[in-house]
Structure 1
Amino acid sequence: MEQQFTYTMPPEWEEHERTLISWPVKESLVYPEDWKSVCAGYAELILAIAEFEPITVLVNAKEQDTAVAYVGNNDNVTLLEISHNDAWLRDNGPTFVRDDKGNLAGVNWRFNAWGEKYFPWDLDDAVAPAVLEHLDVKKLDAPLVLEGGSIHVDGEGTLITTEECLLNSNRNPDLSKEEIEAYLRQYLGIEKVIWLKRGVSGDETDGHVDNVASFLAPGKLLLQVTNDPDDENYEITQENLRILDETKDARGRQIEVVAVQQPPKISWNDTRLTLSYINFYFVNGGIILPVFGNTAAGTDERAIRLLQAQFPERRIRTIDGLAIIKEGGNVHCTTQQMPAIKGGRQ
């Protein structure tokens, strides 16, 4: 790891040039009978993002006509044919970084389908290089298996992740915690890693942090919690609160924790769905927030009010968080931001 870069990963709330997303692949669906409803869910998300900024949709050739039918008549939506096995671009797409002169590059992590859970993944592993080639953005090949949903950064040197994911033996069994941290410093320009132990209960990604915690600003973290001692996430909540109470960020600040109550539990085929308000997505001038229709419990409305209070200048745009969750993820999992370059791209 002798080679050093001068790139840093901008926080998600900085201005975007565009959003990238992949159109779903019918053969990859856990419930292929839900194909039409999944397409409708992706279309709702894509068109919501297009209200705020341009969005490029990666499409397999055989899904081109379907994608056109759902989203193809919007001036802010561009379809780009790039082959892929599955549609979670946050995890297999490039992570964009900038150097101190504002030049953009993209980290090409290795991808192995969340610890070899789904076959095949060869097309997904080739997506990031194809995207960067199309965008004419410099590619940085990282010798590390990593999904974008497993990390969040604050833009001032701090990264948060979970041991459950990044230290899992199904990702990088030959690397130590210290070696993984070194790669994160090298490719993302961070100075400190905050290690939570676990993500939300039942998360098939092995505890991606984007379901449990997200930076709202440097020194400020949104954490999904539950106060119910009988809930599977209660112990995880308490553990995360203890860790964050004892941790300072890269600038020596005590982390300010903003708690959001988790949605009520919903199960499908005896499996708990990983419902999370943390899986929101910053867009230019707004936030795309999944909500889950729990009028009686009121957690949707509380999450909306909480984010609006944190970001009074942004529009909170809600979408149906149940539309694609049976497939294993939500808004943040599907999206990847391309940071804007000040003065525009040359």
Structure 2
Amino acid sequence: MNPKTNQTEGVTGGFPADQGYYFPAEYASHEATWLSWPHKEASWPGKIQTIYAPYSKFIGHVAAGETVRIMVRDRSMEEFATSCLEKESVNLQNITFHHFPTNDAWCRDHGPAFLVNPAADQKKVIVNWNYNAWGDKYPPYDLDNRIPEQIANYLGLPYVSPGIVMEGGSVDFNGKGTLLTTTSCLLNPNRNPHLSQSEIEDYLRKYYGVKQILWLGDGIIGDDTDGHIDDITRFVSDQTVVTVVEENRRDANYEPLRENLKMLESFRLLDGSPLSIVELPMPSPVVYEGTRLPASYANFYIANCCVVVPTFRDKNDDRALELLQRCFPDRKVVGVDSLDIIWGLGSFHCLSQQEPKV
């Protein structure tokens, strides 16, 4: 494995884990949240204009507690984005725009992976994974694939390029050495067909600074990412996960989610302790133009001052919000309508990437 790095001091010449770097939990303090302003109509065919109000509401909640850095193509897109934010009374003082053009909006997957080491002289570095739009499903993605390097150069941070495909939505972390993922995504031959499971684990350990990888199985129906973990199971503390369950036995999600729950119950963390598991309901199936969409309350985003949860005008919305509020007693849990956004096959977590504070 020969990592490619830029010439900035930091990770040049070695793996991030060897130098004490690791990917923090999302609930650790953020320096900022990075977003790529949605503009690709093919991602929301016939609906893109309807997403800007809820997307701007999401930004408003996050910006109440941290800087939000929004990537746009040019001045014209920045002006349009500003007008959308102003309509939702977003405080623009915490908003900054960056003219980094993108192909699409899914910053969780094409954005940088920020690692930290508080004891190092260079306290923050970036992993520049390759990105291929979930197995070459939605070309072109050349602009998206350049984003981590552009952000690293803008921030003056060193970066390391492992040379394989990896997406932020496919992994979740407790910041204490444990990573959650799925076999359906990371072992899919449309990502890294030349790598075995053990070889992929080697990359995860060396480039994310984790010591333990916990593998779940399949994702939810309608998920075009082949089963991202951020639609099913998320860490909410060092030892606690929330995981979605389907209560309707006739639903196609019932069995795979039940299997994932059984696996979670069998796992042990690095200290030998079991996971504390909170079961989160699924909304009723969301179907648009004959397509079942990957609607899930697990696709929430943990910001400094709040947790923004997608809601679906469903009977389980309030229940999901109440369960998550108990998981985050130090943050306000807010629901934002995602019924139009989910037509793009993702929601607030898929759209965002946190930059940790160190």
Q: What TM-score do the two structures reach when normalised by structure 2?
A: 0.91
CA distance, structure 2, for counterparts of residue 262 and residue 317 of structure 1: 17
Tell me the equivalent position of 1:344: none
Contact 1:157 1:251 in 2 (8 A): no
Secondary structure at the residue paired with 1:21?
strand
Q: Among 14, 23, 29, which residue is 2:43 paired with?
A: 29
2:203 is aligned with 1:183: yes
Task: Report if aligned partners of 2:321, 2:334 keep a CA contact under 8 Å in 1.
Answer: no
Answer yes or no: is the 8 Å Cα contact 1:15–1:340 preserved in 2: yes
Aligned to 2:25: 11
CA RMSD between the two structures? 1.4
User: Aligned-pair distance for 1:28?
Assistant: 4.1
Q: Equivalents in 2 of 1:325, 1:76: separation in Å?
A: 26
CA deviations on 1:254-299 (whole Å, 9 max, x unpaired) are 11111011011111111111111111111112111111111xx2x1
Aligned residue number for residue 96 of structure 2: 78
Q: What residue is the counterpart of 2:9 in the other structure?
A: none
What is the CA-CA distance between 1:121 and the residue it aligns to?
Answer: 0.6
The structural deviation recorded for 1:224 is: 0.4
Task: Give the letter aligned to residue 4 of structure 1.
Answer: F
Residues 61 and 306, structure 2, Cα contact 8 Å, conserved in 1: no
- Match of residue 357, structure 2, among 324, 340, 343: 340
Percentage of pairs with the same residue: 38
Q: For residue 127 of structure 1, give the secondary structure of its aligned residue in structure 2.
A: helix
Structure 1 counterpart SS, 2:163: strand
Q: 1:300-334, CA deviations, whole angstroms, 9 ceiling, x for partnerless residues?
A: 11111111112222111221121311011000000
Runs of 5+ consecutive residues of structure 2 not aligned to the other structure? 3-13
Between 1:161-170 and 1:270-279, the stretch displaced more is: 270-279
Q: SS where residue 258 of structure 1 aligns?
A: strand
Question: Is residue 147 of structure 2 the alignment partner of residue 147 of structure 1?
Answer: no
| Structure 1 residues not aligned, in runs of 5+ | 342-346
The equivalent position to 1:331 in structure 2, one of 333, 336, 348, is: 348
Distance 1:88 1:251 in 2: 35
Partners in 1 of 2:327 and 2:167 — Cα distance? Answer: 27
Q: Distance in 2 between matches of 1:262 and 1:310?
A: 17
Is 1:194 aligned to residue 214 of structure 2? yes
Q: Output the CA distance in 1 between the equivalents of 2:355 and 2:246.
A: 33
The one-letter code sitting in structure 1 at the alignment partner of 2:52 is C
Corresponding residue for 2:324?
A: 307
Q: Is residue 107 of structure 1 aligned with residue 124 of structure 2?
A: no
Q: Secondary structure at the match of 2:255?
A: helix
Question: Which residue does the alignment assign to 2:62?
Answer: 49
Give the secondary structure class of the aligned counterpart of 1:12.
Answer: coil
Q: How far apart, in 2, do the equivalents of 1:120 and 1:38 lie? A: 22
CA distance in 1, matches of 2:333, 2:247: 25
Amino acid aligned to 2:181: T
Cα shift readout 1:181-227 (whole Å, capped 9, x = no counterpart):
00000011101111001111221010000000000111211000012
Is 1:275 paired with 2:295? Answer: yes
Deviations 1:87-120 (A, max 9, x none): 0000000011012516001110000010000010
Structure 2 Cα separation of the partners of residues 252 and 325 of structure 1: 38
Partner of 1:253: 273
- CA shift, 1:17, in A, is 0.6
Distance in 2, Cα, partners of 1:54 & 1:279: 21
* Structure 2 residue 135 is matched with structure 1 residue 124: no
Q: Within the alignment, does 1:207 sit opposite 2:227 as a pair?
A: yes
- Paired letter, 1:45: F
TM-score when normalising by structure 1: 0.94
